[in-house]
Structure 1
Amino acid sequence: MSTTLDPVAPGDSSAAVLTNPAYAALTGPHAEFAEIRGNARRYPSDVAPFLGLPTDPTDQDWADAAELVGSGHTAALMRPDLPIPSEWFKLDRQFDLVQFAAPPSFGLADTELVRLGPDDVPDMLALVALTDPGPFRTRTVALGTYLGLRRDGELIAMAGERFHPPGHVELSAVCTHPDHRGQGLATRLIRAVVAGAEDRGDQAFLHTGGTNTRAIRLYESLGFIITNRMKVTIIQAL
């Protein structure tokens, strides 16, 4: 049975961070990546597909977001469900996420893992294509630390950091080659990435699909705590 933590009580500064992580990152530690129009923010398309809006966006914020995304183009919102104004966007698709926070002192360094960088991107993209852990693009690796495990030169597992809201870091792209599953590689990678976050004083969190029972069971078995129920909403600008 899953454990649920409520870190977003009134007055808790984590609320805006954990329920609106893309916007918190793009107006904070990831401001260098932000494409901006008014209060709307987005990552460059070769970095990530995510759009950030204030917690309670105004009509002007939505109009600015539509200009930023561009007519006919899509972007993703990651946050609890939000009504989409039909004046500026149409709903493309939507799916559920579960958000987890790492338990205290969970990190563990792993000397077999290697730091991945731009030269590793072709192998990272190939692994993502096999495993579908979520959006990963040609410059996603620039968002934070990505670690991988190679066997006989082949990248067989990886995990890394995506959103960096203040005081927090999101684990992302956790994936293992199908031929190498069942060896605990994902756990090793998660703990190693969390170790880096802990060294900086950041709280690690992550998301998984609401129907991905295998991943949900894994994170619960590791002591991760459910913090929010989220949505990924893909919208197309009119």
Structure 2
Amino acid sequence: MDDATTGLDNPFWASLCSRHRGIALRAGDVARYPAAFAPFLGVADAEVDVDDALDTLVAPGESVYLLGVAPASVPGGWRLQAADPLLQMVCDTPLPVIDGPEMVALSEAHRADVLALTALVYPHYFRERTMELGRYFGIYRDGRLAAMIGERLGTDAAQEMSAICTHPDDSGRGHARRLTAMLTNDTLHRGRLPFLHVSRSNVRAVRLYEALGYRHRCDIAFWSLSRA
């Protein structure tokens, strides 16, 4: 996995040009996910002229997000606003998987449960078709989806762990730890580098990932872009 970090400094663009190129909406050196999948837009580099592309790719009233690389300038009528950087973390060694309830592969049959859980605890970036970006797994308790994890961004060499979330009533049971270790190990077994993004303000999650064996790769810049 010597080249596994290639693209991680510009993960939206890298993913849209590789793993998700089949669904990418593209205008020159600007690409985005369809809105039903994710509100993410990437540019090849900071010097890209985005003037025409933004009018083509971003609907009126819509906000999109950029990670790692943003255009040096945007046209009049648009607002590019920096948010707090995210922690980008990676893991290159297998993790212990604690005992616990069954972990099930989530499918179309589970979509309503997934959307209900993410609407409750992970509402900002999960969309109707986000599940189609990769594999998703969950733990059920008393007939309710108690916790989940999935694959979102990715290249041939690296895979993002995403939507790691637990229902508030099931917090503290080790579900997130169990799911994260399982999918991390499976990703490593497939020859890809697991990575994830987390806000520094989410101290509990950062501590969990560090305790599991994830390490800080970089602080990665994050922006929102919308019509002014």
Q: Give runs of aligned pairs for residues 71-220 of structure 1, distance below 5 A.
A: 71-79=60-68, 83-87=72-76, 89-91=78-80, 94-106=83-95, 108=97, 112-132=102-122, 134-220=124-210
Partner secondary structure for residue 22 of structure 2: helix
Alignment partner, residue 68 of structure 1: 57
Partner secondary structure for residue 162 of structure 1: strand
What is the alpha-carbon distance in structure 2 between the residues aligned to residue 80 and residue 222 of structure 1? 29
What is the alpha-carbon distance in structure 2 between the residues aligned to residue 69 and residue 112 of structure 1? 41
TM (norm. structure 2) is 0.89
Structure 2, unmatched stretches of 5+, are: none
What is the alpha-carbon distance in structure 2 between the residues aligned to residue 199 and residue 52 of structure 1? 29
- 1:58-117 CA-partner distances (Å, limit 9, x unpaired): 22x453234211344221101157644243621356232101001312375988100111
What is the alpha-carbon distance in structure 1 between the residues aligned to residue 77 and residue 89 of structure 2? 32
Asked whether the equivalents of residues 41 and 66 of structure 2 are also in contact (C-alpha less than 8 Å), the reply is: yes
Alignment partner, residue 22 of structure 2: 32
Asked whether the equivalents of residues 149 and 155 of structure 1 are also in contact (C-alpha less than 8 Å), the reply is: yes
What is the alpha-carbon distance in structure 2 between the residues aligned to residue 17 and residue 148 of structure 1? 28
Percentage of pairs with the same residue:
35
Number of aligned positions between the proteins: 227
- 1:108-143 CA-partner distances (Å, limit 9, x unpaired): 598810011122121111111221275111111111
Partner secondary structure for residue 163 of structure 1: strand
User: How much has 1:215 moved relative to structure 2?
Assistant: 1.1
1:67 to 1:40, Cα distance in 2 relative to 1, 3 A: same
Alignment partner, residue 31 of structure 2: 41
User: How much has 1:166 moved relative to structure 2?
Assistant: 2.9
1:52 aligns to 2:42 (yes or no): yes
Report which of the two has the higher share of helix: 1
1:81 to 1:15, Cα distance in 2 relative to 1, 3 A: farther
User: How much has 1:214 moved relative to structure 2?
Assistant: 1.1
Asked whether the equivalents of residues 133 and 152 of structure 2 are also in contact (C-alpha less than 8 Å), the reply is: yes
Structure 1, unmatched stretches of 5+, are: 1-6
1:49 to 1:228, Cα distance in 2 relative to 1, 3 A: same
- 1:200-229 CA-partner distances (Å, limit 9, x unpaired): 211000000121111111111112111111
Asked whether the equivalents of residues 157 and 176 of structure 1 are also in contact (C-alpha less than 8 Å), the reply is: yes
What is the alpha-carbon distance in structure 2 between the residues aligned to residue 169 and residue 88 of structure 1? 35
1:84 to 1:178, Cα distance in 2 relative to 1, 3 A: farther
AA at the equivalent of 1:123: D
Alignment partner, residue 3 of structure 1: none
What is the alpha-carbon distance in structure 1 between the residues aligned to residue 212 and residue 16 of structure 2? 29
Two-structure CA RMSD over aligned residues (Å)? 2.5
TM (norm. structure 1) is 0.86
AA at the equivalent of 1:207: H
Asked whether the equivalents of residues 16 and 55 of structure 1 are also in contact (C-alpha less than 8 Å), the reply is: no
AA at the equivalent of 1:125: L
What is the alpha-carbon distance in structure 2 between the residues aligned to residue 101 and residue 168 of structure 1? 9
